[in-house]
């Protein structure tokens, strides 16, 4: 038992102080240990085992234990079992236990929520009671950037504050190079020890014993493995025959170090920053008298099984065989040693290797990358400490493995040893046979790849042509001052990261799953942009959009993983919940843009298959790629904003045309009031008779045109049934956009009788309350007020196809859509015949305004020549319902004939010919009306 004495640091303390250093890699643990001991006791390099040092400081013995670090952003599950075991073993190196655990945090690195979780999980390996012995130490390498602990906590955020609270407010800040205030840290340590009553931290004895026993067994197995490997190599070397030409294929997960291994094997000193290998790359060189050909292949996600990898990546593994003709001698399966190797990782490696061949294992050597991380630990100790999945893999490869330190190439011994192991493997097989891909398989792949490249080129050309046309239209409009973006997609697609990239700041949480909608705003190139991040499988409805003409939907797709029918169906469900019009403002946004490497997104779309191609087509061939790892100067975000503006140009132009149409129709209504007469109840609509929603009356309204007539427009009150809204309401912009789209033929509306689908549009209170048509006359008796300033009202639009299904008994006549409405019918017919833009192109250099002026002038001529001479005079006797119906039949004949003419717009000679036919039709209709009136005058009691 340690004795107690009065310390020069202040207060009573034990004669020996035991400290354990914990923290992530490169957090400054070893340097802090040297600072505490006042000399260079710890080597500041990677280690996988604990190191203990003793020293006399101010007349008192210090025992300091340095532990292996973990990757700061890795959870405990991703940390090697070797490291976790050593952290737990640190307690036994200062028996009966340490007084203090110093958790080192690098002050110059952002302490995110992910890093906080990593600290919590790794410290928790020692048990929950360890926190009462912990203190946080913020380490800095540069005094000019050094801040006090409290100031750092306040500026860093809630993750650091959580850690300080967990350590009961105990924290300190040091400069590792030379800190004269180290005494202050020692005083804080002594204060912590005193508060704990000089008690040490003690783990349960059974846990320490189990950890020690596992370490002992692992070392025994490592020794046995080493002896077996040494004996096997000795036998092979007796029959060894050097090979002058060796062809190697490197395979492995993303980030395993394949490219670095290629450079090390070929003796290259690459200064360029490494990026993901997206297509097979070939390197060649003469190494120790051998001609080496090394093929680097695209990696897979460590936790992705074969079916989760993209088809492009899967195919590249097979194509690698043809990159070193006539075929490779050996496959090096690269595995990084600085992280855990789980059963999931093992299965992923097995499945991806078997894409090449089921019988590949006889020519595979396990190549351990990041060898510098092992420090003094042997390869065999590492294999036996990591667990059963890695041991299985090594055994499956015939116990062939090699360690490669890419940071310390040295004299090339490790490469020479690797070449020796490859030659031993080939000698042991009594054959230099190499793998060859079947000729017919390769031919089929080449044909398929050529087809994909052609389609990718066509897709890119199509996209560029679309964008050029959209840009030409966009020049007619002012730039949008603001834009709203809705991020939609499944889980693990990178929606939140895309939101952060778009807004150029970390405003969405990427460390945890998004469970609710989160909205953030920011300015991008003088445009205010609002981004809405949604949970996975979130249904997008129209209530998310305040102004549809400035709203865009980004369907986020993870391009680093496969895209199947289930993914497509999920996205379609999310969008179609808000109606088919959602696709008009949707763009496919590919996340994980770094996965592309040197390939194009069009290649990936074509190679992935029909589900992804279908999704892109449903979005009008609009797509974009974001690299959330390398944001750059914001060029990729500016291009995305431009693409969305181009996408919205059609709706904005429709809205622009709709505004002009609205003004013209409103002006016409002020001059020519309507008279609506109801003949039969088909459509039940309940309207508010008072300002109370609970007091309602039932009013039946219906709209019908004669044969050949296009859709009429009827205004009806807002619908409420049982206190709830029964029909959909839209704002003014939506109304104008939908109405203009309907009249231009861009949108197909559906309506049938009771209980089936129909479209309703809200007319807000901005419509003048004293307008001439603010009420309808029903059955010649009751007045129904439509446009109350206090109640929103509805507009019901019926398309022509369903109108023809109705009989004359159901007619309600609307007599105001004559002259002004026909102008809009003209625009609609022009659009149906191929689009206004196409007509403008046929018209030469004329502008849209010039074309509209021509249509107006032409219509004036048509109207005067066909209708003017036949305007009916006021009859002496009242007109009967049959008179009205006959007149409407004649009117509809005129409208139908004019529609047919306007859909052609050919030579003026043909126009005059058609006008004469129209005149004949009107004359015939007028004769019928006159005959009916004559009969009515002769026999007043006559009825039809």
Domains of the chain: 4-203 (3.40.50.300), 240-437 (3.40.50.300), 446-654 (3.40.50.300), 672-817 (no CATH), 825-938 (no CATH)
Closest C-alpha to 643, from 466, 895, 418: 466
Q: What is the pLDDT of residues 81-128, one digit of tens each?
A: 999 999 999 999 988 899 999 999 998 888 988 999 999 999 999 998
End-to-end, the C-alpha distance of the chain in Å comes to 121
Coil/strand/helix, residue 74: coil
More confident residue, 890 or 279: 279
Asked if pLDDT for residue 2 goes beyond 60, the answer is no
- C-alpha separations of 731 from 243, 526, 549, 734 in Å: 78, 27, 12, 5
Q: Where are the alpha helices (DSSP H) in 577-681?
A: 601-608, 610-618, 635-671
Mean pLDDT of the chain: 76
What pLDDT shows up at residue 663?
54
Residue 562 binned pLDDT confidence (cut-offs 50, 70, 90): very high
What pLDDT shows up at residue 621?
96
More confident residue, 902 or 756: 902
More confident residue, 526 or 20: 20
Specify the DSSP class assigned to residue 549.
G
Asked if pLDDT for residue 725 goes beyond 80, the answer is no
Asked if pLDDT for residue 11 goes beyond 90, the answer is no
The answer to whether 71 and 121 have CB atoms below 8 angstroms apart is: no
Q: What is the pLDDT of residues 313-330, one digit of tens each?
A: 999 999 999 999 999 999
What pLDDT shows up at residue 60?
83
Burial (CB < 10 A; 0-12, 13-18, 19+), residue 641, is buried
Asked if pLDDT for residue 8 goes beyond 80, the answer is no
Asked if pLDDT for residue 616 goes beyond 60, the answer is yes
Residue 843 binned pLDDT confidence (cut-offs 50, 70, 90): very low
What pLDDT shows up at residue 816?
30
Closest C-alpha to 702, from 715, 691, 690, 693: 715
Report d(CA 888, CA 358) in Å as an integer: 79
Q: Where are the alpha helices (DSSP H) in 730-770?
A: 732-743
Order of strands across the sheet that contains 16-23 = 51-57, 60-66, 16-23, 100-106, 134-140, 171-175
**Which H helix or E strand runs over 716?**
strand 713-717
Asked if pLDDT for residue 943 goes beyond 50, the answer is no
More confident residue, 589 or 846: 589
What pLDDT shows up at residue 890?
52
Average pLDDT, integer, range 747-767:
36
Asked if pLDDT for residue 577 goes beyond 50, the answer is yes
Q: What is the pLDDT of residues 859-892, one digit of tens each?
A: 555 555 544 444 444 444 444 555 555 445 555 5
Q: What is the pLDDT of residues 912-938, one digit of tens each?
A: 555 666 667 767 767 777 777 777 666
What pLDDT shows up at residue 130?
94
What pLDDT shows up at residue 631?
87
Residue 580 binned pLDDT confidence (cut-offs 50, 70, 90): confident
What pLDDT shows up at residue 899?
52
More confident residue, 417 or 680: 417
Asked if pLDDT for residue 345 goes beyond 70, the answer is yes
CA atoms in the 13 A half-sphere facing the CB of 704: 26
What pLDDT shows up at residue 43?
82
What pLDDT shows up at residue 720?
37
pTM score of the predicted model: 0.70
Asked if pLDDT for residue 811 goes beyond 50, the answer is no
What pLDDT shows up at residue 880?
52
The pairing of beta strand 245-252 with beta strand 16-23? unpaired
Considering only 298-307, 589-598, 711-720, 735-744, which range has the smallest mean pLDDT?
711-720
What are φ and ψ of residue 720, in 5° steps? -135, 140
Asked if pLDDT for residue 789 goes beyond 50, the answer is no
Report d(CA 737, CA 739) in Å as an integer: 6
Coil/strand/helix, residue 794: strand
Report d(CA 780, CA 676) in Å as an integer: 8
Report d(CA 944, CA 942) in Å as an integer: 7
In this structure, the dihedral spanned by the alpha carbons of residues 463, 531, 761 and 751, taken in order and rounded to 10 degrees, is: 50
Average pLDDT, integer, range 717-743:
42
Q: What is the C-alpha radius of gyration for the chain, rounded to an integer number of angstroms?
A: 40
What are φ and ψ of residue 684, in 5° steps? -85, 120
Average pLDDT, integer, range 544-553:
78
Quote the tokens at residue 495: 């929606």
How many CB atoms are closer than 10 A to CB 805?
Answer: 11
Report d(CA 686, CA 722) in Å as an integer: 10
What pLDDT shows up at residue 788?
40
Coil/strand/helix, residue 33: helix
Residue with tokens 């008994």: 809
Per DSSP, the residues of 109-172 read S---HHHHHHHHHHHGGG-GGGGGGEEEEEEES-GGG---HHHHHHHH-HHHHHHHHHTTT-EE
What pLDDT shows up at residue 835?
43
CA atoms in the 13 A half-sphere facing the CB of 580: 8
- C-alpha separations of 817 from 328, 831, 859 in Å: 79, 20, 14
Considering only 201-215, 404-418, 647-661, 882-896, which range has the smallest mean pLDDT?
882-896
Average pLDDT, integer, range 850-866:
54
Name the percent of the chain lying above pLDDT 90: 45
What pLDDT shows up at residue 197?
92
Residue 818 binned pLDDT confidence (cut-offs 50, 70, 90): very low
Maximum Cα–Cα distance across the chain? 134
720 has which bridge partners? Answer: 725
What pLDDT shows up at residue 913?
59
């Amino acid at each position: 038992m340690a004795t107690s004495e009065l310390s020069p640091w202040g207060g009573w303390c034990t004669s020996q102080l035991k400290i354990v250093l914990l923290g992530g890699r490169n957090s400054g643990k070893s340097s802090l240990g040297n600072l505490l001991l006042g000399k260079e006791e710890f080597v500041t390099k990677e280690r996988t085992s604990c190191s203990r040092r003793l020293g006399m400081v101010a007349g008192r013995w210090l025992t300091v234990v340095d532990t292996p670090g973990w990757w700061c952003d890795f959870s405990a599950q991703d940390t090697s079992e070797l490291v976790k075991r050593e952290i737990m073993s640190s307690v036994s190196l200062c028996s009966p236990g340490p007084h203090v655990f110093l958790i080192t945090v690098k002050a110059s690195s952002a302490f995110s929520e992910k890093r906080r979780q990593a600290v919590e999980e790794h410290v928790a390996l020692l048990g929950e009671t360890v926190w009462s012995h912990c203190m946080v130490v913020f380490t800095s390498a540069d005094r000019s950037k050094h801040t006090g602990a409290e100031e750092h906590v306040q500026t860093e955020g809630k993750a650091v504050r959580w850690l300080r609270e967990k350590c009961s407010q105990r924290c300190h800040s040091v400069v590792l190079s030379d800190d004269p205030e180290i005494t202050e840290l020692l005083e804080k340590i002594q204060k912590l020890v005193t508060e704990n009553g000089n008690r040490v931290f003690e783990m349960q004895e059974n846990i320490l014993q189990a950890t020690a026993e596992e370490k002992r067994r692992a070392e025994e197995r490592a020794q046995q493995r080493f002896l077996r490997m040494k004996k096997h190599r000795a036998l092979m070397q007796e029959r060894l025959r050097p090979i002058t030409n060796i062809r190697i294929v490197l395979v492995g997960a993303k980030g395993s170090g394949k490219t670095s291994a290629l450079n090390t094997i070929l003796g290259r000193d690459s200064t360029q920053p490494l990026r993901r290998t997206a297509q097979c790359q070939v390197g060649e060189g003469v190494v120790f008298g051998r001609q080496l050909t090394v093929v680097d292949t695209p990696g897979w996600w460590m936790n992705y099984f074969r079916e989760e990898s993209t088809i492009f990546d899967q195919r590249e593994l097979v194509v690698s065989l043809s990159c070193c003709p006539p075929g490779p001698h050996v496959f090096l399966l690269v595995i990084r040693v600085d992280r855990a190797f789980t059963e999931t990782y093992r299965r992923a490696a097995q499945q991806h290797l078997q894409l090449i061949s089921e019988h590949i294992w006889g020519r595979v050597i396990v190549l351990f990358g990041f060898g510098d991380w092992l420090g003094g630990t042997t390869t065999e100790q590492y294999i036996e400490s990591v667990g059963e999945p890695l041991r299985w893999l090594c055994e499956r490869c015939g116990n062939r493995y090699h360690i490669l330190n890419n940071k310390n190439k040295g004299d090339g011994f490790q490469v020479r040893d690797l070449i020796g192991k490859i030659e031993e493997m080939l000698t042991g097989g009594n054959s230099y046979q190499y793998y060859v891909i079947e000729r017919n398989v390769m031919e089929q792949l080449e044909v398929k790849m050529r087809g994909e490249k052609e389609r990718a080129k066509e897709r890119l050309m199509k996209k560029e042509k679309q964008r050029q046309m959209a840009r030409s239209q966009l020049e007619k409009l002012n730039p949008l001052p603001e834009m709203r973006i809705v991020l939609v997609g499944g889980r693990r697609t990178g929606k939140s990261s895309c939101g952060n990239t778009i807004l150029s700041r970390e405003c969405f949480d990427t460390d945890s799953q998004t469970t609710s909608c989160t909205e953030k705003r920011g300015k991008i190139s003088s445009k205010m942009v609002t981004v809405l991040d949604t949970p996975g499988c979130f249904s997008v409805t129209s209530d998310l959009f305040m102004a549809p003409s400035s709203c865009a939907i980004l369907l986020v797709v993870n391009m680093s993983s496969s895209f199947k029918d289930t993914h497509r169906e999920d996205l379609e469900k999310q969008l179609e919940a808000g109606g088919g019009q959602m696709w008009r403002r949707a763009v496919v946004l590919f996340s994980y843009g770094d996965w592309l490497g040197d390939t194009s997104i069009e290649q990936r779309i074509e190679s992935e298959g029909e589900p992804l191609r279908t999704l892109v087509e449903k979005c009008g061939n609009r797509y974009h790629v974001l690299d959330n790892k390398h944001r750059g100067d914001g060029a990729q975000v500016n291009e995305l904003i431009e693409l969305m503006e181009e996408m919205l140009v059609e709706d904005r132009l429709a809205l622009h045309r709709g505004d002009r149409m609205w003004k013209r129709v409103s002006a016409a209504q002020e001059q020519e009031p309507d008279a609506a007469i109801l003949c039969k109840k088909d459509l039940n609509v309940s309207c508010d008779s008072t300002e109370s929603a609970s007091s309602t009356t039932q009013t039946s309204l219906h709209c019908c045109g004669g044969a050949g007539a296009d859709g009429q427009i009827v205004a009806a009150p807002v619908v409420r049934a049982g206190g709830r809204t029964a029909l959909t309401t839209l704002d003014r912009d939506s109304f104008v956009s939908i109405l203009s789209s309907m009249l231009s033929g861009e949108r197909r509306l559906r309506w049938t009788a009771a209980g089936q689908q129909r479209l309703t549009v809200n007319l807000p209170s901005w419509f003048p309350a004293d307008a001439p048509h603010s009420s309808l006359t029903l059955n010649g008796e009751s007045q129904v007020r439509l446009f109350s300033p206090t109640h929103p009202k509805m507009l019901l639009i019926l398309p022509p196809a369903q109108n023809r299904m109705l009989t004359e008994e159901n007619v309600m006549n609307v007599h105001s859509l004559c002259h002004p409405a026909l102008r809009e019918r003209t625009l609609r017919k022009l659009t149906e015949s191929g689009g206004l833009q196409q007509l403008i192109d046929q018209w030469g250099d004329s502008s849209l305004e010039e074309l509209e002026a021509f249509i107006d002038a032409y219509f004036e001529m048509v109207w005067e020549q066909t209708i003017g001479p036949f305007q009916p005079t006021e009859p002496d006797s009242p007109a009967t319902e049959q008179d009205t119906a006959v007149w409407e039949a004649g009117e509809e004949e005129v409208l139908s004939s004019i529609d047919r003419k306007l859909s052609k717009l050919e030579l003026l000679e043909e126009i005059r010919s058609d006008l004469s036919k129209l005149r004949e039709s009107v004359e015939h209709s007028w004769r019928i009306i006159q005959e009916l009136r004559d009969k009515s005058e002769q026999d007043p009691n006559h009825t039809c």
